[in-house]
Each structure stands twice: as C-alpha cells, then as structure tokens.
Amino acid sequence: MTEQMLVELAKKRRPEALEQIYQRNHTRIFHLALRYVRSPEDAEDIVQDTFIKAFDGIDTFDLNLGSGFSAWINRICIHCAIDHLRIRKRRGGDLTSLDALPQDPPSADPSPEQITIDRHVSHRVQDAVENLSPRQQIIFSLRYREHLNIRQIAVRLDCSEGNIRAHLFRSASKLKDVFRVDS
Amino acid sequence: MNLRGALEKLVEDKAPFLLKDQCRDWEANDLLDSLSKGILTRPVHMLCGVYIAAITEKGLMGEVLFRFKPRA
C-alpha cells in the first residue's frame, strides 16, 4: 500500500492503517528521539507521544503540501523531544543529552594527549550546551551535529529561517559567555 | 478485540508495561478485576507499547483509554 493510501485511511482513523504507519515509522522515530535524550526509555516516551499526537492531528497533514509524511512525523518527534527536555529541565532532573548524539569520527591516529584534550573540550561544550533552552539545544544539535543548514532546520521545525538564526545567535552568545567566564 | 481480550493478552504475555490513565498507573490484572463488564466488552484497538484506544461504532479509532508505561 502506498504512503498516500495509508495516510488517507489513517485520516479516517482506520486502526489497521494507524498500526501500519506505526510499524513503518517506529524504528526511525525511535532513533531520532534517541539523539536528544540519554536513555532508550526516554526515547520510547517520546515515540509514544509522537504517535499519539500524530494520530490525533493526522487530519491536519496535507499530502499535497510540504515534504511528505515522514518529514511531518519527524517534526512532531522533535517537538515532543523539546517538550520532554523542558519538563526534565523544569524538574531539575538529569539534563539531556547531546552526549548521546553521534560523535564526529576522530582524526587519524590522535595522540593520547590529544584524545584527553578533545574529551575535555567536548565535555565542556556539552555541559555548556545543556544550559541552553531545550529549543536552542535541539537547534544547536541540528546545526552542528547533524550539519543541517538554516533552511533545512527551519523546515524540520516548521518555523522561519529568521527564528532559527536568532536562536543560533543567542546560543552562540550564551556559549561565548560561558567560555569567557571559564577561561 | 475488546478491552478484556486486550488486558488478558497483556497478562498472558507478561508484558513489561503498566497502563496509565488520566489518574494513575494500573496493572492489567487490576483493571480486569475492577472494571465493569460493560467497559470490558468495549471494542478497542491496542497498539502495544503505545496505547489502548476505544473503537467507535463505525470501527474507527476513538479516544485513547490507556497509554503504556514501561514497568520500572
């Protein structure tokens, strides 16, 4: 069954179509969620929220607009991840997360000293990033971990490029302040 | 599938989940014991790990009755 047919049936709230959508997208959404939170359990929470919100709002999805169903549900997942981070932050619990993101491969045969320095810097950056707002954390990771450009981030988060630039600018200012104080 | 069938399946499979409604978390077994026959015979759609939702008279997905919560 094509995605279009599946979505049309899901819009009619046919259980078998919703189940198919879940089966087809679950693994991808889980791995996407896992980029933003530390534990698989938290990622599963985000997956659950994502599908419940997606099924609840599937009427608003228009196959003729935008970049397809996968991109639409990815955006919901990212928004759920932001909500999850906000709740965590409000509770003052174990903050996320960017250390769960895929790391860039190390350069060829770095020395043990270089590895130690790299780790130290990486931890300092992660600590600093965790002090950004949840939305800024997500935008920062999309830009600098996933290497998306401003436009791609705006599409993924369904907001304007100006908004993304503003968040990145504020993030950079906050990080500069942190490192200025530390140094 | 009705709600009784869904809950019995979770019990039989020893599924590692609690079921969460708006008030609290439930063991599937406790729901089998405490819900009325009328509610237990209600048709549902169970998406294991995500939700148990009511099925409307037209056979379509309705209100989410319970969300799954992984057992600690």
For residue range A17-61, list pLDDT tens digits in order.
999 999 999 999 999 998 888 788 889 999 999 999 999 999 888
- Asked if residues A22 and B47 have their Cβ atoms less than 8 Å apart, the reply is yes
Show me where the domains of chain A are located: 1-96, 100-183
- Indicate the fold that domain A100-183 takes in CATH: Arc Repressor Mutant, subunit A (1.10.10)
Would you call B4 helix, strand, or coil by DSSP?
Answer: helix
CB atoms B47 and A22 under 8 Å: yes
Q: How far apart are CA A112 and CA A15, in angstroms?
A: 55
pLDDT band at A117 (very low <50, low <70, confident <90, very high): low
Q: Is the ipTM of this complex over 0.90?
A: no
Structure tokens that stand for B54 in this block: 């009511």
CB atoms A15 and B49 under 8 Å: no
Write out chain A residues lying below 8 Å of B45, CB-based.
15, 18-19
Which pairs from B33-41 meet CB under 8 Å and 24+ separation?
A: B35/B3, B39/B3, B40/B2, B40/B3, B40/B4, B40/B7, B41/B2, B41/B3, B41/B4
Q: pTM for the whole thing?
A: 0.67
**CATH code that applies to domain A1-96:** 1.10.1740.10
